[in-house]
Amino acid sequence: MILGVCKQIVNIIYFAILCITIGGVEDMKITLPQKEGTVKEFDIKEL
């Protein structure tokens, strides 16, 4: 149980770091003006 939770936390942190490093600046510029558009684009990036 504990190992599974740790792995999930590591995966979430790793994914967050990738998102920030790959398109952090661009995402920030897009998210500030329009939030609806960013949700759709973010979903596409996840896939």
What is residue 16's predicted lDDT score, i.e. its pLDDT? 80
Q: How many CB atoms lie within 10 A of CB 42?
A: 14
Q: Name residue 13's amino acid.
A: I
What is residue 21's predicted lDDT score, i.e. its pLDDT? 73
**pTM higher than 0.75 for the full model?**
no
Q: Which two tokens stand for residue 23?
A: 């398109």
Q: What DSSP line would sit under the chain, residue for residue? A: -HHHHHHHHHHHHHHHHHHHHHHHHHHHHHHTT-HHHHHHHHHHHH-
Least confident interval from 14-18, 22-26, 29-33:
29-33
